[in-house]
Amino acid sequence: MLLLVPKLGTLCLVSKIGTMSKTLHAPEYRKLIEWLKAARIERGLTMRDLAAELGVPHSYVGKVEQCERKLDVLEFVRLCEAMALNPEKGILILSKR
């Protein structure tokens, strides 16, 4: 596949080498989100409770749990901290195939 890339006011053709697939719907990512959701429920927290702890709208938690929004690393760690979870356990979920 060739892409047009602006370069100093002109367009150059470059080849697109290797692309990573989207991870939002990867089975490992879904397992991670299920682990976070189960932990929230186990702790008796509502989405609103967790959102308040994080200082975000409750819709943020809902979108994460519905896999409509992908967590970055810092967000993942903050979510874990808010629920007293060890982030390393979540990473192990991702590394198991």
What is the C-alpha separation between 69 and 95, in angstroms, rounded?
A: 20
**Token code pair at residue 71:** 């967590």
pLDDT of residue 96: 72
Q: What single-letter DSSP state applies at residue 55? A: T
How would residue 23 be classed by pLDDT, with cut points 50, 70 and 90? confident
What is the C-alpha separation between 83 and 79, in angstroms, rounded?
A: 7
How would residue 2 be classed by pLDDT, with cut points 50, 70 and 90? very low
CA distances from 73 to 40, 46, 88, 90 (A): 18, 23, 12, 11
Residue 18 predicted with pLDDT over 80: no
How would residue 19 be classed by pLDDT, with cut points 50, 70 and 90? low
What is the C-alpha separation between 76 and 78, in angstroms, rounded?
A: 5
- Is 94:32 a contact under the CB 8 Å cutoff? yes
Class for domain 22-95, per CATH?
mainly alpha
pLDDT digits (tens, 9 = 90+) for 24-56: 778 889 999 999 999 999 999 999 999 999 999
